[in-house]
Chain A
């Protein structure tokens, strides 16, 4: 895997290049989210879980509104906002299916790696609708993803 050479002036965080530190933090918080989702699903139904999930997003909405300096940037903002809103609607619907899967007995150790294969759909749709080229490694990924889903369902 080609690794970009770090810039001498690149920002560092906790002794690591900032991009690496934030990537590791992402792994940690998303991994914890998956685990917490399973724990919550044992005690709360799907719809209620989605509402509580959204309550958890509220502090981040406030933080982004207060801190972000790029909210007014961009061209064709109306379309961009429309796509973002649609992303939320689709993402929220996906959340409901995800929570339901956990509520009715899906194991976190299987459901999270399986749903983590969502780029399978993304790359295929991007190839069809956005005419993006599918790389050779991605083609291998598509095959492995399908095999993984089959094995996880065993």
Chain B
């Protein structure tokens, strides 16, 4: 039987799905904050997350019996993610130029990569390392709108 030389790994497919969905939120968030405050926009964003969780809790099998530490870590992820959205809004509202603030914030994967490599002992190939550098550079360049922007959204 003929095999595919380089099948796309499943994790990459889900990564691209996340990238596409989060990318669309960049547009919908803009459409929202053009009409209402970033705080109210965040609130309804969070209400939607609650709605999704309620639907999940009612329709799929949820493993409630997890270790308390696992729950705390996962919940802290939600708090940190939301907190980042709020601090990015404050950075923009504190006089930071949007192109500078958003470019700077695009560096956040560096913190994750450092943690993953040092603490989680993840190893990257040279090609992947180059890809990480290129990805961060690309994210910075993509944030440089030709005209000033005033929105930030949750990754």
Contact = CB atoms under 8 A, between A and B. Distances in A.
B141 A126 contact: no
B141 A87 contact: no
28 contacts: A1-B100, A18-B90, A22-B96, A26-B88, A31-B108, A35-B116, A35-B119, A44-B70, A48-B63, A60-B46, A81-B32, A81-B40, A85-B48, A87-B28, A88-B44, A91-B21, A105-B11, A109-B117, A110-B128, A113-B112, A116-B139, A124-B23, A129-B27, A141-B137, A141-B142, A142-B142, A145-B135, A151-B128
B67 A43 contact: yes
A64 B41 CA distance: 11
* Chain A interface size range: 35 or more
Interface in B45-95: 45-53, 56-57, 60-64, 66-67, 70-71, 73-84, 86-88, 90-92, 94-95
Interface residues of B, number: 123
Interface string A49-69: 111111111111100110010
Interface in A101-147: 101-102, 104-126, 129-130, 132-135, 137-138, 140-142, 144-145, 147
A108 B112 contact: yes
Interface of B: 8-12, 14-53, 56-57, 60-64, 66-67, 70-71, 73-84, 86-88, 90-92, 94-97, 99-101, 103-117, 119-120, 122, 124-125, 127-128, 130-132, 134-147, 153-155
Contacts of B87: 22-23, 25-26, 29
Given A23-B104, A52-B71, A92-B49, 19 more contacts: A19-B94, A22-B90, A22-B91, A31-B115, A32-B112, A33-B84, A37-B74, A38-B120, A47-B62, A53-B49, A54-B53, A83-B32, A101-B15, A105-B9, A120-B23, A121-B26, A125-B26, A141-B139, A149-B135
Given A1-B100, A71-B40, A26 B142 contact: no
A14 interface: no
A148 B116 contact: no
A36 B96 contact: no
Interface of chain A, helix or strand or loop or mixed?
helix
